[in-house]
Structure 1
Amino acid sequence: ADSLIKFGIVDEIVPEPENWAIDNGDGNDSGKAYSNIAKTLKKRITASLSELAAKDTKALLDERYQKFRRMGEWV
């Protein structure tokens, strides 16, 4: 995951707030872990979309272009 950030392929790594639990048959452990991870992802995705929505189209296109140019440097 660190390499993905280093090479500019991803902008952020969202850590899992807890380890996945092995379901003991009642489904509660896995369900709780899933809900917590889903909430964390929802917060980060919402925040990222808000940041992107605040930028004008030209800035977004320029940033995307530069990002893909940087990715091509290590290929």
Structure 2
Amino acid sequence: MVDIGSRGAFRGEPDHPAHGAAKVAVHALGQSFAVSLAPYGIAVASVASGFFATERVSSRLERPERSRDP
């Protein structure tokens, strides 16, 4: 099982707080599934991707402070 969350779960999303909160939930659900499904040999991985160049985040990717954001 693979959960796809976001870096927003760990870094916060000041412009989109509900998005960040939802991604925290995705990662917490993955952790719970990992523990509950391990006895059945089912592995769970949670992926926290970075930014993709979309219209919503394009301005954030162009800012100089971006270089400090891993």
Coarse TM-score class (shorter-chain normalised): 0.3 to 0.5
The structure whose residues are more often strand, as a share, is: 2
TM-score by length of 2: 0.39
Q: Which has the larger radius of gyration?
A: 1
The structure whose residues are more often helix, as a share, is: 1
Of structures 1 and 2, the one scoring higher in RCO (CA 8 A, sep 6+) is 2
